[in-house]
Amino acid sequence: MDDGSRLSFIVTAVLILCAMYFALVETAFASVSQTKLKTDQDRGDNRAKKALWITDNFDRAVTTILICTNIIHLTAASVVTVAVTRIWGLSAVTISTLLVTLAMFFFGEMLPKSIAKKYSEHICLATAGSLHLFMVLLQPLSAFLTMIGNGVSRLARREPEASVTEEELYDIIEDMAEEGSLDEEQSDLISSALQFGDVTAESVLTSRVDLVAVDIEKSPDEILELIKKETHSRIPVYSGSVDNIIGILQIRTFIKEYLHNKDHLDIGPLLDEPYFVHSSIKIDELLSIMSRKKLNMAVITDNFGGTRGIITVEDILEELVGEIWDEDDVAMEPIRQIGEDLYEVDSQETLGDVLDELDLEVDDEDDEELTNKLMGELAYEQFSRIPQEGDQFEYAGMQITISAMEHNRILMLQVQKLAPSDPDDGEEGEA
C-alpha cells in the first residue's frame, strides 16, 4: 500500500469521527432539558449560555448539522472509492461502498446517538462552543437552505405542532419542583390540571352502592327522616328502582313546601329534570355541559342504561384542586399509618397513590390504567370468589389484608409494606 492510499484511509477514519461528532450533538441537543441547562447557567457555567442559545435556535443548528453530515458522507464515499480503485480496481468498489456505509451507520449514527441520549446534558455543555462556531461559519448557506425550506412549507400548510409535548411539560414541572421553583402543592395542582382532560366520570362518580336516593312512593314524613340522616343538598328520586331515576329533589325546596303544606305534599312537581350521561364521558366536557345547563348533579349510566352512580360539580372540581371540605364533612385520611410500615387504606383509594405513599414501584408504573385502579377493585381481582374479612394477598412488595366489608363490598384494607428480599439469603439457603 503506497502513502497515498494510506493517507486516504486515515482521512476516512477522521471523517467517521467527524460524523460521530455531528450525530452526538444532534441527538444531545434534541433531547436535553432546557431547565437543566438553565440551572447550569445559574450555577455559573458559561458553556450553558451557548448551549441554551443553540436550543433556542435549534432549527438553524439542525440545518448546520445536516450540511456538515452530508459533506462528510459524500467525501468519505469519494475518498474510499478512489483509494480502492487505485489498489484493487473497479471490481472492489461495490464491496468498499457497502463496508463504508455500514461503518458510517454504526460508528457515525447508531452508536453516538445512543450515547448522546444517555449523557445529553454533558455532551451539550462539552460541544456547545464548537457547534456554535460551525453555525456561525455556515450561516450564509444555512440561511439560504432555510429560506428554501420555508418556501416549500408554505405550499403545504398544516396545523402547527406543539412546541412542547405533554411528556416534556411533565418533566419541566418535575424539574422545577426538585429545584424548589414550585412547591409540592403548586406542582400537584399543575399536574392535576394537565391530567384533568383525561379523567372520565367513571373515576369520579359516587357509586350506586353509596347513592342516597328516595322512592317517589315514600311519604313526606319518611323523606324528611331520610333528609335528617343525610347532609346532601339534593337527592335523586326514583320510581320502582334506582335504575329509574325520575328527578332530582332540592332539599331546601322540599322543606319549604313541607312546612307550608305537610298533609297534601306531592313531591312530583318539586323535582328538577335529571340529566343522564354515560360513564365514559370526560369530566372536562361534562363540567362544561353542567355549567352551560346550570346543573349541579348528573346521573351516570352504565352500558345497559342502568344507574351507575351520580356526579356533582363539586366532585369534578375536587379532581382538579383536591378535597373540598365543608362543615358537614367528616375528615378521614384515605391512607392512614397505624403501625411500622402498616397502613389502613380506603378501598376507593387508587393503587398509584398507595404506591407513592409507601415509596414502592410496579414494573409498569407508566400504565395509567394500572395506577388508577382502585384498591378494592385490585383486591377482587386476586380471588376467584367473593373475598372475606381477613383474606390476604401479596402485590408489588405489599401484603394486603381485607379488614372491613359490608355485605359483599370491600370497605377498608390493611397494607403492610414488606421488607425487600435479600438475594444472598436465598443463596445461603441453597448451600
Q: Please give the pLDDT value at position 429.
A: 41
Q: Please give the pLDDT value at position 427.
A: 44
Measured N-to-C along each axis, helices 120-137 and 46-56 cross at an angle, to the nearest 10 degrees, of 70
| d(C-alpha 228, C-alpha 220), whole Å | 12
* Amino acid identity, position 92: A
> How many residues comprise the chain?
431
Cell numbers for 242, please give them: 334506582
The DSSP call for residue 181 is S
**Beta-sheet strand order (sheet of 297-301):** 206-207, 307-312, 297-301, 276-278
Q: Please give the pLDDT value at position 393.
A: 95
3-state percent breakdown (helix, strand, coil) of the chain, nearest 5? 60, 15, 25
How do 409-417 and 342-346 pair as beta strands?
antiparallel
Question: pLDDT 10s per residue in the chain (431 long)?
Answer: 555 667 777 888 888 888 888 888 988 888 888 888 888 888 888 888 888 998 888 888 888 888 888 888 888 888 877 777 777 766 666 777 777 778 777 877 888 888 888 888 889 999 998 988 988 888 888 788 777 776 776 666 555 555 556 666 667 777 777 766 667 777 777 777 777 778 889 888 888 888 999 999 999 999 999 998 888 889 999 999 999 999 999 999 999 999 988 888 889 999 999 999 999 999 989 999 999 999 999 999 999 989 999 999 988 888 777 666 555 555 567 889 998 889 999 998 888 889 988 888 876 655 666 777 889 999 999 999 999 999 999 998 899 999 999 888 899 999 999 987 654 554 444 43
Q: Is 397 left (phi over 0), alpha (psi -120 to 50) or beta?
A: left
Q: Please give the pLDDT value at position 168.
A: 67
pTM above 0.85, yes or no: no
Q: Please give the pLDDT value at position 286.
A: 93
